[in-house]
Structure 1
């Protein structure tokens, strides 16, 4: 598989694995008139100091000309968070007639004194005040239509696995919620159906179904897949957190603060039907065999990424709620991929030529688990520029975890051929990626078009990150990037919005000089 053109995930970005018929409606986010471009306002904001939701409502009334939003009818408060700087962030869901607009958030940011410093998100200023509420299709029918769409039965996908803690967990998750679906200027009442399962194939389906007609408006499998080359065994000895039970040691780590567990499985060459596989065990707590090496790396690096996010940002697992981190190695036969399936990681062994054990590269593991962080924060839509940002932020945090060089996946790619990699942040052109907007590739928002070039155009924000890190250093840059991802970016953010989010994050944390350095980095790649 040519990752440069087809795969999206860690090393290459995030590719979407399809497992059935795919009805894909194009929705762009780059000024093409199809998706709502996020707005970032920080100038000419009027009003009294804000100390509560009531104060935010008053602010919107006083700034109606700017936002054109009625806080009583157009917005629903989701959460209020005060960060370490004393800034408070009010996150709202954009609604029409109390029905949430899919992938649309508005965030109000205030400083320590309660002064509004910025407002950003998907405003949908031209949205109707009411949405046609005719529901010929009910919630259960929408779920049935979604299963029909992907040509998988519930029985195939519904499996129960017993954890080491003795608890049963289901590998199937299905949800159906009423939303307003937006496409090309049209607002439609729809069901947003989520189908997540590991059998008969790894899937995280996001499906939108017209609530009146039952038409499938959009269908995408958002499994985050990585095509990498993991060495699996570099000959280094790692210290592992294990669990002793019934005279056997398990790769099962219960030591992480305020969290669930990190657990590692062996799929023994099986595919979708046997996930998550069998626990990796050893009678002497010495995981030295050839077969265990891929599991050692997967287990160790998952813990390393957990520790990175916790130590640097206080984040507890990828969802900040202490979720279990589950990994499965020896997936498939000569499988040149690794993937985040929506609830766990899977790693192939590679074919020995393109890749070796894919769990052997810490930047691949960090890239994939950062997709999980993005899914639970900015929720960057995986297409066009927002999708390229999704890929880029995974690369950037892959670099922060493994900052020895600017290469991605070099440890496991083409074993026996030193010096090559999947991508380079310092020189994207070396791997057929653009590094400036004058090289931007306008590709179709289809699977064949890499969903608008998410794995290709990510080279542009990657190069901006390279300039930023060179100017400000890792310590400041990682805080700026994390703040932008978790505070300012919204689902349809494009490159300009990312620049604004990073500038604002730099200003919040380190002042004007740092913000100017971020501005210069994006100037250098032609994003103004």
Structure 2
């Protein structure tokens, strides 16, 4: 039988044949491409209007009207000469939650990749009905009610702050909201995304979606994600460290103003075993933080500076937001508290109970893990549930390893202080700590936001295999580029593979041994 001519093929297939595709991923439910790479454009792209023209010409592939449906968020240029045009899909100017989409153009003006989540059917399902019946104030009230709390329940009096140091954002409870379109089981709802951040009666960064028409709760999850003078002090493990401190009114503060690129500072507080955040500045009278009670303070401050230096010296990233944000840590949180987390504003460390944990700020990889949650929040914005949530955890573990050379364990310095050789997790051997390392062991569960701390073992193992093949330096560059340029809120394991391969292609070439090493790593964990 004779093959069909190109002109007789459906328009989508005609366009895809013109694109010299190297790799592709498709969202089967939405029948739209979540990742395409290759030589996608025939004409050179020099400005944003030409990107819109490219998308319009290829409407049969992308299935959205770029002029009506896409809002440009920002244009980023990188050190390889690429320009990344970042969009969010919207309806009547109201953004669709998680619908981030990026067009990547190389230094020669070629569209080399597009990726993200598009909703081709959203406009027809929502139509023009994007006016809220519910007020934002009412939505916030309903969000509080849904978690059986009021704002008053979370109030903790703000501590006195010594002059002249005046930290910003010391509010104990934060309410944020924005109107958006939320996709719930294939149905699109006009909704308020209400974010409630507080530390009493428990650490929380609630994200609650309230239907803007009838006030029903569509979804909710707590996205709490598991610091100029020179002084010195001893850390949790008894090692001596040099500290950047600040002298004022005959007192030395753990307050680092030495990062020349940073518009903020690195500052460390103590909650004094209470639950008020940020607490009181960690201080000393002689600039020698040698007391046993100061060891957690010393490590939180020192390691926050180390992680800042890693991101700045390796990638040119200025703090977690790349704009010099203040990095704040609070230690001695609560009593016998076996946890550390990023709460959307700062890092919080418990002292542990002495059996399961000692002071959690005493591990560089733990501090790097928490600060990387902040980087992820400000870049890919990976949703903290199911595969994207497990990937969120894995990215933090992986950058914990990049920051803490020598092993592939997480938290081994502070976990079970009376027992040597164990850890919270292992990138090289996830099974040793109850995690799967391949998709055949993937755990389907609704607990722990869809198993984010369990299934992270799969991308963790892929990261280990990648690092073993190409080294931490090359792997770090690939992972950082993928996180900041190619991953989006809804990136799953398959999309992560595509993002990392594209980053490897950008940096080292699509036919390189480095590219093939990344491909092999994800093949071995059964993500194809």
Alignment TM-score, normalising by the size of structure 2: 0.88
CA 1:40–1:402: 2 relative to 1, 3 Å: same
2:469 equivalent in structure 1: 471
Q: Secondary structure in 2 aligned to 1:303? A: helix
Report whether the alignment pairs 1:327 with 2:308.
no
Query: 1:90 and 2:85 equivalent?
Result: yes
1:145, CA displacement in angstroms?
2.0
Would the alpha carbon gap of residues 217 and 506 (structure 1) be closer, same or farther in structure 2, given more than 3 Å must change? same
1:416, 1:140 → 2: CA distance?
Answer: 50
Give deviations 1:21-58, integer Å, cap 9, x for gaps. xxxxxxxxx9896x999700125724411111110111
Q: How many Å separate the matches in 1 of 2:166 and 2:37?
A: 52
Q: Which SS does the other structure have where 1:336 is aligned?
A: coil
Distance 2:332 2:27 in 1: 43
Structure 1 segment 75-474 matched on structure 2, within 5 A: 75-129=70-124, 130-157=127-154, 160=158, 162=161, 165-166=165-166, 169-171=169-171, 172-225=173-226, 233-259=236-262, 260-271=264-275, 274-444=276-446, 449-474=447-472
Q: Does 297-306 or 42-51 show the bigger shift?
A: 42-51
Moved over 6 A (4+): 35-38
State whether residues 37 and 502 of structure 2, in contact with CA within 8 Å, keep that contact through their aligned partners in structure 1.
no
* Distance in 2 separating the partners of 1:407 and 1:106: 34
Aligned to 1:128, the other structure's residue is in SS state helix
Per-residue displacement from partner, 1:361-396 (whole Å, max 9, x unpaired)?
000010111011111110111111111100110000
Q: Shift of residue 355 of structure 1? A: 0.7
Q: What are structure 1's unaligned runs of at least 5 residues?
A: 1-29, 226-230
**Corresponding residue for 2:482?**
484
Determine the structure 2 residue equivalent to 1:523: 523
CA gap 1:329/1:110 in 2 versus in 1, 3 angstroms: same
Give structure 2 stretches of 5+ with no counterpart: 1-25, 227-233
Kindly state the Cα deviation for residue 104 of structure 1 after the two structures are TM-superposed: 1.1
Shift in Å, 1:200: 4.5
2-structure distance, mates of 1:345, 1:291: 19
1:105, distance to aligned residue in structure 2 (A)? 0.4
Q: Distance in 2 between matches of 1:205 and 1:456?
A: 21
Q: CA deviation at 1:202?
A: 2.7
> 1:441 Cα deviation (Å)?
1.4
Equivalent-residue separation in structure 2 for 1:442 and 1:32 (angstroms)? 20
What SS is found at the alignment partner of 2:289? coil
| Whole-angstrom CA distance in 1 between matches of 2:508 and 2:413 | 34
Flag the 1:36–1:207 CA change in 2: closer, same or farther, 3 A.
farther
Note if contact 1:47-1:63 (Cα within 8 Å) is conserved in structure 2: no
Q: Quote the Cα distance in structure 2 between the aligned partners of 1:515 and 1:381.
A: 27
Q: 1:55 aligns with which of 50, 62, 73?
A: 50
Q: CA, structure 1 residues 32+223, in 2 after alignment: closer, same or farther (shift >3 Å)?
A: farther
Q: Secondary structure at the match of 1:481?
A: helix
Measured against aligned partners, the alpha-carbon deviations of 1:348-368 in whole angstroms (never above 9, x if no partner) come to 111111111111000001011
The CA deviation at 1:124 is 1.0
Q: What secondary structure, in the 3-state scheme, does the structure 1 residue paired with 2:288 have?
A: coil
Aligned to 2:55, the other structure's residue is in SS state helix
Say which SS state the counterpart of residue 367 (structure 1) adopts: helix
Q: How many aligned positions are there?
A: 487
Q: CA deviation at 1:150?
A: 2.9
* Contact 2:70/2:88 (<8 A) preserved: yes
State the match for 2:7 in structure 1. none
1:437-462 CA distances to partner (integer Å, 9 max, x unpaired)? 11111222xxxx22221111111111
Name the CA distance, whole Å, in 2 between partners of 1:506 and 1:332: 44
Higher relative contact order (CA 8 A, sep 6+): 1
Query: For residues 361 and 429 of structure 1, do their structure 2 counterparts lie closer, same or farther at Cα, with a shift above 3 Å needed?
Result: same
Secondary structure, counterpart of 2:191 in structure 1: strand
Structure 1 residue matching 2:220: 3-state secondary structure: strand
Matched with 1:4 is none
| Greater Cα offset, 509-518 or 138-147 | 138-147
1: CA distance, partners of 2:431 / 2:36: 34
- Between the aligned partners of 1:107 and 1:354, the Cα distance in structure 2 is 43
Contact 2:458 2:525 in 1 (8 A): yes
The alignment's C-alpha RMSD in Å is 2.0
